[in-house]
Structure 1
Amino acid sequence: MFPELTDRQHRIVALAEELSSRFADRADRYDREGGFPFANLADLRDSGYLRLVVPQRYGGEGADLFEMTLAQERLARGCGATAMAVDMTIHLIGRLAETPSWTEPMVAMICRAVVEEGALINSAATEADLGSPSRGGAPATRAVPSEGGWRISGRKLFVSMAPALRWFLVSATLPPDAETPQGSIGSFLVEAGSPGIRLEDSWSDSLSLRSSASYDLALDDVFVPAERLVERTPIGAPPRPGAPTQMAWFALTLSAVYLGIGQAACDTVCAYARERTPTALGRPIATLPNIQHRIGVMQTALSAARSVLHQTARAWVARPAERSAMTAQIAMAKYLCTNAACDATDQALRIAGGFALTRALPLERYFRDARAGLTHPPNDDAALELIGKHALGM
C-alpha cells in the first residue's frame, strides 16, 4: 500500500500491523470491561514498539514523526484506545528528542526506562475549571516551596494510562518570586506511587476509548524533589521556542490514531457489505450503487486526510528550518483526519443498519471512539481559525 516507503519504514508498519491484529482480538472485551489493556501493553513492551521513538543514543530506534504517524495509524485499526493511550508517551518523547527542554539527566532517565523497562509517561494538565490547557490559563493545582523541592496539591482529569504510568508530568502554578513577579507555571515529573497520589476511575463507562484508563489524578501535598521541576514558564510569557514541536508531535500522531479508527470502520463495513445477502435481494448489498456510493465517500475522505497527514509529517522531517510556519498545515491535518474518522464511522452505521448498533459488529465502538478525536487540541474551531488566518496572510 505504501510502495514509496523505505525498508525501515515498511518494517515499522509491519510491526504495528502485527500488534494491531493481536489487539483487535481483545478490543471488544476490554471495551466491555472498561479496564486497562495490560496484555496490549505487555505486547508493546516485548515487541520493541515502545523503543521506536526513543533516540538512538539512549538505545531506541530514533523513529521520526512521519514514521510514528505510519505506526500509530496501523496500531489504532486494532484498538483505538490502546493506540491513543500509548501515544501520550510517544508524542512526549518525540518532542523531547527534537527540542530538548529538560536537563539531560532527566531526558536520559525517562528514555532509558522506556527502552529497558517499558516505562510510560503522560502529562497531567487538564483540570475541570481550566478546560483544555491549549486555551491558556493557569492551573488551580499549586506547588509551594519545601525543603529540597516542592509540595503539590490539586486534581487533574483525563490522565490516560493512569494505572500503568511510571511518571506523571504535572502542571502546577508556582508562587511569585523575584524573577517571576506574576508567578509561573511549572511542569513536575511526579513518580507513580508517591505518597499523596490517588487515582480515581472516572472513565471506564465513558462514551469513547473506554479501555484507555483516562482516570482522574488527585495530589495531596505530594513532595517532588527540586530537580524534578523540568520546565518553568512565567505567567503571561510568549510560547516557548519548542511549542511548534509539541503541537506537531501531539496533533499529528493523534490524527493518525483517529484516522486508523475511521479506516477500520471502512474496512469492516466493506467486509460486511460483501457478505450481507438479504433474501429479498438475493445478492450481496455490496452490489448496490447506493452502498458503493457511501463507501466511496468514506474512502475518499479518509484517503484525502491521509495524504495531507503524510505530506505534513514528511515536510516536518525534511524541512526543519520551516517548522515554525507549519502550524496551519498541522491544524489542517488534524481537522481532516478526525472529521473523516467521525464521518466514516457514521456512514458505516448507516450502511450496516440495525446490526451496527449491536456488539455483533465493532462499528458502534468505532463510532464512539472516533468522537474523542474532536476533543483533542486544536479543536475544530481553533484549527479552522488558524487555517483561515494563514490563508489571509495574518
Structure 2
Amino acid sequence: MPRILRTLLTDELLTRIHDRAAAHDRDNTFPHDDLRELADAGYLRAFVPADLGGAGLTLEEVSREQARLATAAPATALAVNMHLVVTGLAALLVGRGDDTTAFILRDAAAGEVFAFGNSEAGNDLVMFGSRTRAERQADGGYRFSGTKIFTSLSPVWTRLATFGLDEEHPDGPRLVHGVVGRDGTTTKDDWDTLGMRATQSATTVLDGARAEPEHVYRSLPPGPSGDSFVFALFATFEVLLAAVYTGIGRRALELGAEATRRRTSFKYDGRPYSQDPDIRWKVAEAALAQDGAELQVFALARDVDEQADHGARWFAQLVGLKVRATETARTVVDLALRVSGGGAYFTGSELTRLYRDVLAGIYHPSDDESAHGTVATSILGPLEE
C-alpha cells in the first residue's frame, strides 16, 4: 500500500504567506501574520503527539512541509524551523522512551513558542563548548549568563532552549542544557542583514536567565558526545535545515523555468528561450541538482523516523546532508538567475531575494570545515596524535 503523508499547510495559506514575503524582506520586519496563521493551522504543534492535541507528524512529513513553506517564504520557514527543531528533538526523544524533554511538547501544546539560544560569536566548537556561564542553583535549577547570536523568532519566542558551561560542577566541567523564559534576557535590535531578514534572528543577552530544575534536561562533558540528546538535536536540526534550503532551490527552479517560457529570443526569430538548447541545458542542470537534493533530504528524514542503522556514520550523514543541501540550493538559484535575464537582477525580483536568502546556508552549523572533518573521521578514523 502507498504511504500516506499527512499535511497541515494548504495551498491557500502558502499563497498568502508568499504574497507577504517581499514586504517583510524590504522592510526588515517579522512576519507576525504568517506565524499567527501557521499557529491557527496547528503547524507549531506539528511534532506534538495527538494525545496532547498536536498533529504527531513524523520528521519526514515535517521536512516535506518545511520545503513547501520555504518555496513561499524562505525566511518564514527558517524562523519557524527553530521552533520545530526544539519540538522535533523532544518528540524524537520521547518517542524513544526518554521523557526528559516531554515538558517541551506539553508547553508547545499550550501555545508556547520555542527558539534556540545556542550560537555564540567566536565559538567554533558550537554545541561542544560554550562561552556562556551556567550557575547551578540550590534547588537544582540553573542561571545562564552570556550572549547568543542568530536567535530566530526573537520578537515572539516565549521559551528559549539554551546551554552554557558549569565550571564548578562536582564531576568536572559540564555543558548544561535547559529552557528559560524571557526574564533575565534582553533582545538587541541588531538584525539588518543581506538576506533572511524576516527571521529577525537578533542577538540575545542572557543575564541570569533561569531554567527551573524540571527544565534542565542534560549535563554533559564538553566535547563530542554519543548522548541521545545530541543525536536528536543534530538529526532534527540538519534535516529540517536542509529541507528549508531545498525548498528555496525548488522555487528558484520554478521561477527560472517560467522565465525561459516568458522571454523570447531575437536570435531565434521570437521563439521562447525554453527552445534554446543552451538555456535548456542550464535548466536541466538545475533540475538534476534539485532532484538529487529532494531525494536525499526526505530519505534521510525517513531513516531517522524508522531508526535505520547508519552506525558510526550517522553524524557524517547528517552534517553531509546539510552541506550538500545548502550548496545545491545555491547552485540552483545561480542557474535560475542565469536563464532569467537581466530583469532578475533588479531588487523587485523574487529571484534576487532568493539569491540573498540562500547565502545564509553558509553560516549554519555544521560549516564546511567541521562537516569535512566529521566525514573524514567516519571513513579514515581520527587524526593521529
Superposition TM-score, scaled by structure 2 size: 0.90
Residue among 113, 122, 129 paired with 1:129:
122
Residue among 107, 113, 121 paired with 1:120:
113
SS in 2 for 1:162: coil
Residue 384, structure 1, aligned to residue 383, structure 2: no
- Residue 39 of structure 1 aligns with an amino acid whose one-letter code is D
Residue among 313, 316, 326 paired with 1:338:
326
Relative to structure 1, is the Cα distance of residues 338 and 16 closer, same or farther in structure 2, using a 3 angstrom cutoff?
farther
**Alignment partners' CA distance in 1, 2:143 and 2:243:** 37
**Alignment partners' CA distance in 2, 1:258 and 1:5:** 27
Relative to structure 1, is the Cα distance of residues 316 and 229 closer, same or farther in structure 2, using a 3 angstrom cutoff?
closer
**Alignment partners' CA distance in 1, 2:311 and 2:16:** 36
Shift of 1:60: 1.5
Relative to structure 1, is the Cα distance of residues 146 and 313 closer, same or farther in structure 2, using a 3 angstrom cutoff?
closer
Q: Any idea what the Cα deviations from partners look like across 1:247-305, whole Å, max 9, x if unmatched?
A: 11111111010010011111011111111225565122222111111111001001012
**Alignment partners' CA distance in 2, 1:312 and 1:61:** 21
- Residue 378 of structure 1 aligns with an amino acid whose one-letter code is S
Flag structure 2 segments of 5+ consecutive residues without an equivalent: none
- Residue 161 of structure 1 aligns with an amino acid whose one-letter code is L
Q: Which residue pairs with 2:209 in the alignment?
A: 222
- Residue 46 of structure 1 aligns with an amino acid whose one-letter code is D
Shift of 1:130: 1.5
- Residue 162 of structure 2 aligns with an amino acid whose one-letter code is V
Residue among 348, 354, 358 paired with 2:336:
348
**Alignment partners' CA distance in 2, 1:253 and 1:158:** 17
Relative to structure 1, is the Cα distance of residues 5 and 349 closer, same or farther in structure 2, using a 3 angstrom cutoff?
farther
SS in 2 for 1:164: coil
Flag structure 1 segments of 5+ consecutive residues without an equivalent: none
SS in 1 for 2:270: coil
Does the CA contact (< 8 Å) of 1:16 and 1:71 recur in 2?
Answer: no
Shift of 1:242: 3.2
Q: Which residue pairs with 2:18 in the alignment?
A: 24
- Residue 341 of structure 1 aligns with an amino acid whose one-letter code is A
- 1:244-283 counterparts in 2 under 5 A? 244-277=231-264, 281-283=269-271
Residue among 64, 67, 81 paired with 2:58:
64
**Alignment partners' CA distance in 1, 2:31 and 2:246:** 21
**Alignment partners' CA distance in 1, 2:2 and 2:86:** 25
Q: Which residue pairs with 2:73 in the alignment?
A: 79
SS in 1 for 2:217: strand
The share of aligned pairs that are identical, in percent, is: 30
CA RMSD of aligned residues (A): 2.5
Residue 6, structure 1, aligned to residue 17, structure 2: no
Residue among 141, 153, 167 paired with 2:132:
141
Residue among 294, 310, 316 paired with 1:306:
294
Superposition TM-score, scaled by structure 1 size: 0.88
- Residue 75 of structure 1 aligns with an amino acid whose one-letter code is L
Residue among 19, 35, 38 paired with 1:41:
35
Does the CA contact (< 8 Å) of 1:126 and 1:132 recur in 2?
Answer: no
Q: Any idea what the Cα deviations from partners look like across 1:27-68, whole Å, max 9, x if unmatched?
A: 100101111100100111111122221122322122111111
Relative to structure 1, is the Cα distance of residues 55 and 202 closer, same or farther in structure 2, using a 3 angstrom cutoff?
same
- Residue 153 of structure 1 aligns with an amino acid whose one-letter code is S
